[in-house]
Each structure stands twice: as C-alpha cells, then as structure tokens.
Structure 1
Amino acid sequence: MAEAPLILLLGNDDDDDDHRALFAEIHRLGGQARRVHPDDLVTEVTADGTRFLAEGAELAPDLVFGWVYEDYLILGMNQLETARLAGIPVVNSAMTLLRGQSKYLNSALLHRAGVRHLPVLWGRDEETLVSWTAERGYPMVTKPLMSSRGRGMHRLTDEASVRDYTRALDPAPEQYYVQPFVSAGHRDTRVLCVNYQAVAAVTRIAPEGTWISNAPGNTRHRAELTADLRAIAEQAAEAMDALFAGVDVAHDEETGELRVYEVNTCPTCTATFQELDMEPVPLLELASFLVAAARDFQGARTGWRPSATV
C-alpha cells in the first residue's frame, strides 16, 4: 500500500469547514484526502471489475468515507455500496448512513440492541395514534423521518392536537413518528464517537422560551464524559454500525436514567468547538482512525484507540 493512503470523502460542500479540518489532519498524519461530490463521481462496472473516475481521471482510493445525506442519500448509498463490493474499505457505509438518517431504523436498532431509548409509533392511521397517545399520556413529540437542527418537530398536548397533526400530513408516503416528551430541562448532550469510542461530549440547551435543544440559537458547553454517558453512547454507535457518530443523549429527570434520542451519522462539530474555543477533537481523532484504517482496515477496527478525549 502507498505510503500516503488516499481517503476519498463522498459528499457535497455543505459541511466544508468540517471537511477542511479533517483533511488538514489527514495530511498532517501522512495521508491524502479528496472530496468528490456524488454528482461528479463516474462509475464503470464490467466483467473485469469496477472503476471510479472524477474529472476524467481514474481514482484509486484506499478507503472511502461516506458523508452524504438528504437529497444525495440514495445516490450516495449506491456509490458507497458499489465501492464496498469492489473491495474498497468503506467507513460509514450505505446502510450505516440510512440507519442514521431514518428515525424509524434508529428506533428499531436501538431497542433491538437494548439501548435505553423511547417507545415510538409511526404510521398514518389517525385512530391508532389517538389511542396510543391517550394510553401513554401527553405531551408527545413528533419528528420528520429525516431532519436536522430540530426542523419539523412538534409537541402534541391533547387529542385535538393529535388529530390536527395527522390530518395535516402530506399525501403518502409521509407518516408520523411520535414518541413521549422527555423532561430533561430542555437540554441534551451530543456524544461524538469514533470507531464506537466516545471522544467528546457537548451539552446543548434550548434557546430561551423554547424546548428544542438542537435548534439554531441554542447554548452549548463542554460536557464531562462520565462512565454512564460513555457507555450508552458507545452502545448506540455500535448498534448503528457507525464508525463516526453523534449520539444525542438526554437525562430523564423523572426516572434519573440516560436515554438516547437518536444517532446521527453525519455529525458536524467544527462550529461548536470554535464556539467553545477548542480544537475539533472529534475530527482530529476521526482523521487518525481513517489514516490507520486506510492502511489496515481490520487492524484499525480492532486496535485503534483515541489519543485524547474531552
């Protein structure tokens, strides 16, 4: 393998600040890094094998890192899976990204792995939701299937609000995704994990007079990586098979337990750590893992450990 392994990031430039910080550290560690937009990747598949090209030149990556979401998720998933089938190591694979960006699969996998989560109901039937929420009690929270930064979240406080919400759903296939509201002081903690290992944690507090902790205008501060917080976040990251993950954890004030809201598989952090006047430790650790994995994927999976945690 080349002395300077090539790491190909598949993604657009929406998170350019994160990518630049990641690439700078990859270069410092002796690797090469390149971002290719899903629209710009050309794939040739023949009986002789698979080739990837960009700007007319063939690419020979030692590892592909998936950072695609929303409009480019499906295209990117196909490209990442094709790379995997061609024998190229992939970090945050097609299925990992789908799991992380689907609230449905998040819930199914977290519960299956025994991670403390929340009961959820999704579908379109109005009467089923009315009965379910009445049995479990209000308030409830509804979220879109795929969203970020608190967009599209609503609180349901009684039967009338449930009926109003379901009747306002767009035509199929839009469905509701509903879970109980957690009394957590309008805050949560995002734990950043690399190779299923927690490397940093940041608490987020909802803007004054609101309840959505990850909404724009929130307050953020460094959080201690306690043993309990580390354990539940690492268990959640592994449940998603997410080698780079942002795990959102709440402290349930009614039960005293930690609960995972969801796992994000394209977590950004540069702006947060700049605000905290800190180096973007998760991206530095991610770069270390990617360079090691590009040289020896299985060896990195079993032997890589973070050099620092915050």
Structure 2
Amino acid sequence: MILGDARDDEDHDVLFPEVRRRGVEIIRVHPFDLVTHLGPAGISFTVRGETLEPDLVVGWMLEELLLWIDNPGRDIRVYTVNHHPVFAMYRYAPDGAWVTNVASGGSIAMCPLSPGLADIAARASRAAGTLIGGIDVGENLTTGEYVVYEVNSCPTCEPPVLEVIADFLADAVLRADSSTEAWAPTTIDTDLDLSPELFHASTRHLLHRD
C-alpha cells in the first residue's frame, strides 16, 4: 500500500506496473482516507469502510517545498534504496537564485555516482534509517568536500530509481524481514548518461545545458 495522491501520478505510472510485473499487488491510498483502529486484537486499517491488511506500507507524501542553505549554484540529489546509492542528479538553481528545487525553476542533469558521493549518501541513509531515500548533498567549493543538507524519506523519484524501488518492494513483500538484510541493487548509475529518458517526460524540458 502506497500513501500518496494525484501529485504522484507520474511516479506511480512507472512504479505500479513494475511492482505488479514482479507478482505483487499494489494500491494507492490517500492518507486522509486511511482510518487506523486500535483494539484488543491489535491494529487494523480501513479505507471507506473496507478493511485492508497490507504486507507493506510506504509513505509517498511531500507536504511542502524545502528551503536550502547557501550553495554554489547547484546541489546533488542521491537516491538510495535499502541504503544503497543507485542514482544521482544535479539540481541547478535559476540565475540569480539559490533554491534548486525543480518546482522553483531549477534545472536538472544526471550526476555520475562517484565512490565519495556514494559513500556519504549511504552513511546518511543509514544514519536516518531511510529505506527509500533522497539524500541532498552540497559541494564545498573551498574544501572540495561534500556536505549533507538533508535526508528525505519519501522523495519524488526518476524512472531508473523507480525500477530499483519496484525490485526492493517486491522482495520486501515476498521475503519480509530478511529483505533488508539480503537485498542489494543489480544496477548502479556510476557512469555519465545524457539520455533524456532517465527523467520523467514532464521534466525533460528542465535538463540543464552548459
């Protein structure tokens, strides 16, 4: 069961078929429609009077845009699944601005996952306990080091990440508690790839051009 709403349609159009193709049923429920019951028999969930018994619940709601500390004109979003970095992207602020969010006019580009970038993202994900994470990393131009700005537990994801998430979610349902110990991604985007298909169709016009 995925908690979300229509703002997530583009993500879910990729994720849901991929999860179902792996033999696992998946539904979306708006958090406002979910009723939690606490009783002698334990916890139960209903949606519009129908009882649900999900094997796995994933939150997928981003309530507001986030403001950032000063940066050199861009930051890096590293996506982690089960604490494994799998894909990264640059997010560039518009000219004269400092906020890099796409919704605020930022532009995007694929970022190869270097060992140093992957290491700091993995450590941040483990520290925050995010099984599906969006790690926002800044580049310190003075020291050449990375700094973690924020760890997001329900990030909006690009297609390559959603395919990996589908693998992980299906495995988590089928293998339950052992999944987080044994699962690892089969693909990691370490090399530069300029293909627009890495991004949702609705954001390809935002691809950054040097």
TM-score, length-normalised on structure 2? 0.83
- Residue 202 of structure 2 is matched in structure 1 by none
Q: 1:66 aligns with which of 33, 37, 59?
A: 59
2:31 is matched with which residue? 38
The answer to whether the 8 Å contact 1:207/1:213 transfers is yes
Give, in whole Å, the separation in 1 of the partners of 2:100 and 2:156: 16
% same residue? 40
Out of 221, 224, 227, the position equivalent to 2:109 is 221
Q: Which residue of 1 aligns with 2:137?
A: 249
Contact map agreement 2:60 2:155 (CA 8 A) in 1:
no
- Paired residues, number: 188
Structure 2: where are the runs of 5+ without partners? 190-210
Q: Is the 8 A contact 1:62 1:295 kept in 2?
A: no
Q: Which amino acid aligns with 2:120?
A: I
Secondary structure of 1:33's partner? coil
d(CA) in 1 for partners of 2:92, 2:3: 32
Matched, 1:195 2:82: yes
Q: In the TM superposition, what is the alpha-carbon distance from 1:205 to its structure 2 partner?
A: 1.3
Q: Alignment partner of 1:26: what SS? A: helix
Alignment CA distance shift 1:11-1:201 (3 Å): same
Aligned-residue offset at 1:55: 2.9
Aligned partner of 1:306 among 157, 161, 185: 185
Shift of 1:66: 1.6
| Distance in 2 separating the partners of 1:149 and 1:49 | 36
Report deviation, 1:27.
Answer: 0.6
Q: CA deviation at 1:149?
A: 5.4
* Distance in 1 between residues matched to 2:32 and 2:101, nearest whole Å: 30
C-alpha distance 223-12 of structure 1, shift in aligned 2 (>3 A): same
Q: Measure how far apart 1:18 and its partner are.
A: 1.0
Question: In structure 1, how many angstroms separate the alpha carbons of the residues matched to 2:100 and 2:37?
Answer: 44
For 1:213 and 1:225, the matched residues in 2 are separated by 19
* Bigger CA radius of gyration: 1
Q: Which residue of 2 aligns with 1:56?
A: 49
Q: CA deviation at 1:13?
A: 2.5
Query: 1:15 aligned to 4, 8, 26, which one?
Result: 8
Shift of 1:53: 1.6
Structural mapping, 1:244-283, within 5 Å: 244-270=132-158, 280-283=159-162
Instruction: Work out the CA distance in 2 between the residues paired with 1:189 and 1:196.
Output: 17
So what's the TM-score if we normalise by structure 1?
A: 0.57
Aligned counterparts, 1:1-310, within 5 A: 8-70=1-63, 147-148=64-65, 150=67, 181-182=70-71, 184=72, 186-215=73-102, 216-270=104-158, 280-310=159-189
Which residue of structure 2 aligns with residue 105 of structure 1? none
The Cα shift of 1:214 comes to 2.4
How far is the alpha carbon of 1:69 from its aligned partner?
4.2
> Residue 240 of structure 1: CA displacement?
0.9
1:63 aligns to what SS in structure 2? coil
- Structure 1 residue runs without a partner (length 5+): 1-7, 71-146, 154-178, 271-279
Contact 1:193 1:244 in 2 (8 A): yes
Contact 2:94 2:106 in 1 (8 A): yes
